[in-house]
Amino acid sequence: MKTVIVTGGLGFVGSNLVDILVEKGYDVVVIDDLSSGSLKNKNDKAKYYFEKVSVMLTFELKEKVDVIYHLAAEARIQPSYKNPLLWFRSNVESTAVVCDYAKKHNCKVVLAGSSSCYGGKFMNPYTFTKKQSEEVCEMYSKVFGVSTVIARFFNVYGPRNPLIGEYTPIIAKFEQFKKQGKPLTVVGDGEQKRDFTHVYDICEGLIRLSEKEWEGEVFNLGTGINYSINELVEMFECEKTHLPARPGEAKETKADITKTTLKTGWKPVHKLKDYIKEKLNEIK
């Protein structure tokens, strides 16, 4: 049985990954400081440490660790403008801690990257720290021989999508507003396009990437299809209201998954329109 560590394993993607890994028979250890994760997402078959990732500086397990899925991070673009130092500590330093643990214990690292890096690393503090995290992984591969790989997520949706006020991911926000009978809030003109990817597809992609040895390569986990926010509003069959455009956000994201499919065989299987149709049926 393989032993794996999932940092941020009580969060949106992390908790779904933990459930899938447990179901597949892995021995799963979770490190999560509960800064954004929830105990509601706990899996009774996994082992939990409610600590920051820095605990790994002195962390020892009896079992040999095969893979670290490093998902713990400060997410969201807009809040990163207010406290960039927190984003550096949480994203860049934590990745160095994880990679150094992997170096000492001879295990693989799978890093949760971000599609925002394609807009340029100086778009905002969040994107910069995600790019820096990728470079930390690559350095540990090139210099120390640690197997590291980066999975760049595109807009993720699905079960446990977090409701975090103003910065709630758009699919979750639209679901919430639809239930409440409110108009959907559209930032800017609504013509910005996003590649929406189901969390189960993301998790399967992470597991596929963990099955091989890498040297800091970057792989996209997306669908290769994007929709404008206005198209999303139409899918939810709602009225809309507009908010001012926000700085630091890309006009368009769309994954090229050719390399991911070629190297790992991974392909997404969930469709956004099917998911929304199912949600609308639940609401009715």
| Whether the predicted pLDDT of 167 surpasses 70 | no
Residue 21 DSSP code: H
Residue 189 DSSP code: T
Instruction: Write the single-letter amino acid at 211.
Output: E
**pLDDT tens-digit readout, 28-50:** 999 999 998 999 999 999 999 99
What's the mean pLDDT when you consider all of the chain?
93
Q: Is 260 exposed, middle or buried (0-12, 13-18, 19+ CB in 10 A)?
A: buried
User: Closest Cα to residue 169, out of 140, 206, 196, 136?
Assistant: 196
- Structurally, at CATH architecture level, domain 3-283 sits in 3-Layer(aba) Sandwich (3.40)
**3-state DSSP assignment of residue 211:** coil
Q: What is the DSSP string of 72-98?
A: -----SGGGGT-HHHHIIIIIIHHHHH
Tell me what percent of the residues of the chain surpass a pLDDT of 70: 98
Residue 232: both structure tokens together: 């999303």
**3-state DSSP assignment of residue 121:** coil
What are the domain boundaries of the chain? 3-283
**pLDDT tens-digit readout, 57-116:** 998 888 899 999 999 999 888 889 999 999 999 999 999 999 999 999 999 999 999 998
Asked if 154 contacts 195 with a C-beta cutoff of 8 angstroms, the reply is yes
Q: Give CA 35 to chain center in angstroms.
A: 16
Q: Determine the average pLDDT of the residues in 267-280.
A: 95
Asked if 115 contacts 222 with a C-beta cutoff of 8 angstroms, the reply is yes
Confidence (pLDDT) at 166 = 66
How far apart CA 136 and CA 197 sit, in angstroms, is 26
Q: Determine the average pLDDT of the residues in 147-176.
A: 88
Asked if 7 contacts 69 with a C-beta cutoff of 8 angstroms, the reply is yes
